[in-house]
Every structure is written in structure tokens, then in C-alpha cells.
Amino acid sequence: MSALTFVVSGRVQGVSFRAWTEGVARSLGVTGWVRNRADGRVEGLAEGADEALATFVARLHEGPRAARVDQVVTEPAEPCGAASFQVRR
């Protein structure tokens, strides 16, 4: 089990990015959370198998149809043992 934090920049608020991210994570068996930041970016924590996390990050670079992803920054993190993937407010 590995974990990472992520911050996504671009047009990622008001385009269902968090709900889309939750769906992608759940389809890959990735747990953690995602939330909007006050600066217009989206951030989160993801944990799961290395292959699932690599696919998850690749999908973050794509984003949902209405989004425009300019940058995805990831950093290794300590797994926290999340049971599911949730959208935080």
C-alpha cells in the first residue's frame, strides 16, 4: 500500500472535478479524499496499490470533459488507512 498527495491546477472547480475524481478512484480501488482549495486548485490524498495510483495520477492529468488540467503535482505520503474515497468540503 502506497499513498500520495496531489494538487491539480487549471480549470478544475465548477466542472465536477471532485465527483469525477471520486468515481475514478473508486473504479481503481483507490481510497482517500479530494477537496477544493480556496486558491482555485483541487487537492487530495490517494492510497492504494502502486499500479492503481499510477493509473489514478494519469487520469488526473486528463480530468473530466469540462475541465482543463494545467498541472498535477504529487508527493509521496504516509498511508492513513482510509476505508473509501470521499469528497470533502
Residue 19's alpha-carbon distances to 25, 42, 76, in angstroms, are 10, 11, 23
Does 36 qualify as catalytic in the annotation? Answer: yes
With CA atoms as reference, report the closest residue to 17 among 42, 53, 45, 54: 42
Share in percent of the chain as helix, strand, coil (round to 5): 30, 40, 30
Pairing of strands 85-87, 31-36: parallel
Given the residues 35, 36, 65, 88, select the one marked as catalytic: 36
Residue from 18, 37, 65, 68 carrying the catalytic annotation: 18
Catalytic annotation, residues: 18, 36
